[in-house]
Amino acid sequence: MERDIQITEVALRDGSHAVRHQYTVEQVQDVTKGLADAGVPYIEVTHGDGLAGSSLQYGLSKVDDIKLIEAAVDVAGDSKIAVLLLPGIGTIEDLKEAASVGAKMVRVATHVTEADVAPQHIAMGKELGMEAVGFLMMSHMAPVEKLVEQAKLMESYGADIVYMTDSAGYLLPEQVTERINALRQSLQCEIGFHGHNNLSMAMANSVAAIKAGATRIDGSVRCFGAGAGNTQTEALVAVCERMGIKTGIDLYKIEDLAEDIVAPLLPVTPTITREAITLGYAGVYSTFAYHAKRAGEQFGIDARDILIELAKRQVVGGQEDMIIDVAAEMARAKAVASK
């Protein structure tokens, strides 16, 4: 089917954070079948932190990634199943196993300044016959020139697509436009954008990315994702139709899936809470909200203060263990100050 942009659905990966990684095989298959029936071309399925992310640090999965990927592949029809891999968490062997059960795309995710840890994973994805994506997280933490430099590295490793990822929901539309324009002028491969809604900018930023030349956009049905969630897929499809942009996705079917199948899975409706706003305001990784709130309750510290301090220390994804350390340190300082 002809498409002007291709949407990758992330509710079964980014949304894993929202359910504390407790997806069941049945839930994954129900959502995948609905997405495939609606015509979604790519469906990402893994632990929220990618292949092999299940751990005490990131959260233990109810069901092993590979079983969920295999279950999704079984009902995906013409849709392709994608997986996320963070080098240092997931390994080449994990990638091979995901490919062996039918995953067709790997999205190799690194911090925006650390693309150089990705070449072997991108190369292996290509060797396995997968589409390979370079996924530059926390892209607001690097100047435009650095972002372009790192994206060009991803492309040189063989990435078919390079994503600029607003992992904190920090960017404003004009900043997205500037960055996507710069990438478009410097790369030959396709450009993608992944947004978070912590400052209610995910849709505006996705539209800005499309207008600037991005042809791959991430969405999540019912905003199912970390922090305040991601760009809402069903709304994105409607907006694209208003703009005369083809997505190949049936609007009514994706709306029905969101309302009837996905909404009941949500422990809470995605909301722009005070913690989510602080994530976007401070530029902190969206998955930190839950961890900071839990640490705040444990140590009697406002979660927002913890998030601001994490931003000052430039803590990034993969350093979740520091949240407890920072909260404990702040509690000790508070106790000393009160004496």
Q: Which residues are catalytically annotated?
A: 17
Q: Is 55 marked within a binding site? A: no
The amino acid at 220: S
Q: Which residues pair with 83 in a beta bridge?
A: 106
How buried is residue 174: exposed, middle or buried, by Cβ count under 10 Å (0-12/13-18/19+)?
A: exposed
* Residues 325/299, Cβ–Cβ less than 8 Å: no
Closest CA to 191 of 173, 203, 206: 206
Calpha distance 255→237 (Å, rounded): 10
In angstroms, the first-to-last Cα distance of the chain is: 69
DSSP state of 41: S
Q: Is 196 marked within a binding site? A: yes
| Other beta carbons less than 10 A from residue 260's beta carbon | 11
Q: Is 14 marked within a binding site? A: yes
* Residues 158/129, Cβ–Cβ less than 8 Å: no
| CA–CA distances in Å: residue 328 to residues 234, 243, 295 | 41, 49, 8
Radius of gyration of the chain (CA): 19
* Residues 9/253, Cβ–Cβ less than 8 Å: no
171: Cβ contacts below 8 Å, ≥ 6 apart: 139, 140, 179, 195, 201, 205
The amino acid at 171: L
Secondary structure element (H or E) that encloses residue 311, with its range: helix 303-312
| Other beta carbons less than 10 A from residue 253's beta carbon | 18
| CA–CA distances in Å: residue 311 to residues 3, 54, 302 | 39, 25, 15
* SS3 assignment, position 186: helix
Q: Is 140 marked within a binding site? A: no
Q: Which residues are annotated as a binding site?
A: 13-14, 167, 194, 196, 285
Binding residues for substrate: 13-14, 167, 194, 285
